[in-house]
Amino acid sequence: MKHLFAAAFALLLLAPVTALGHCQVPCGIYDDTARIDRMLEDTDTIEKSILAIIELADTRTDAKAMNQMVRWVTTKEDHASDIISIISEYFLAQKVKPVAAGAEGRETYLAKLADHHAVMSAAMKTKQDANAETARTLRAAIETLKKHYNYEDHTH
C-alpha cells in the first residue's frame, strides 16, 4: 500500500501543470478588476510618496526628515515594483495570449502588449524621478488597460 501511495504521489509531482490563475497554479481565479484597482491604489501611494519627498526636500534637511524621506522613497519603489509584478506575472504571463503574425487578432494583441508595456515603463519612471507628473502618467497608462478587460468600477 505504501508503494502504491508513493507511486501515485510521484505521478502527481511529475504531471504537467498549466498556469491559469493569479498564482500560476490552475486554480481558475481571475479578477482583472481587482488587479487594476490594486495598481491604481499603488499609484495613489506613489503619488503621495512623491509629494512627501518633494515637501521634505524643499523644507527640511535634519536627520529626522532624511529618515522620513528614505522611508517615502522606499515606499514609492515598493509600490512601483508591485505594479511591474502585477503586469508581468498576472497580465502578461497569464492573460495576454500570443497571436501569430498574420493571424486574426494580431493587431489587438500588439496593442495590448504596447499598453501593458506602457504601464511597466511608467512604473519604472516613477522609481527614477520624484516628479508628480510621472505618477499621473502611470495612472493614465493603467486607465488605458481597462479597455482590454471587463473592468467593473467599484468606487462608491
Residue 89 lies in a domain: yes
- Grid look-up 504521489 returns 9
- Alpha helices in 60-146, H assignment, sequence order: 63-85, 106-128, 132-145
CA distance 150 to 128: 32
Residue 16 lies in a domain: no
Do residues 138 and 119 make contact, with C-beta atoms less than 8 angstroms apart?
Answer: yes
Do residues 49 and 76 make contact, with C-beta atoms less than 8 angstroms apart?
Answer: yes
Residue 71 lies in a domain: yes
Contacts of 45 (CB under 8 A, 6+ apart): 75, 76, 79
**Domain limits at 116?**
29-148
Q: Model-level pTM?
A: 0.81
Total domain count, the chain: 1
Question: Does 42 have pLDDT greater than 60?
Answer: yes
Residue 144 lies in a domain: yes
Residue 48 lies in a domain: yes
Residue 13 lies in a domain: no
Residue 11 lies in a domain: no
Give the model's pLDDT for residue 131.
Answer: 96
Question: Does 73 have pLDDT greater than 60?
Answer: yes
- Grid look-up 467593473 returns 152
pLDDT tens-digit map of 15-25: 443 333 456 66
- Helix H or strand E segment including 7: helix 2-14
CATH code of the domain in which 78 resides: 1.20.120.400
Mean pLDDT computed over 72-78 = 98
Which grid coordinates are listed for 150?
471587463
Residue 80 lies in a domain: yes
pLDDT tens-digit map of 87-140: 999 999 999 999 999 999 999 999 999 999 999 999 999 999 999 999 999 999
- Helix H or strand E segment including 65: helix 63-85
Mean pLDDT computed over 43-68 = 95
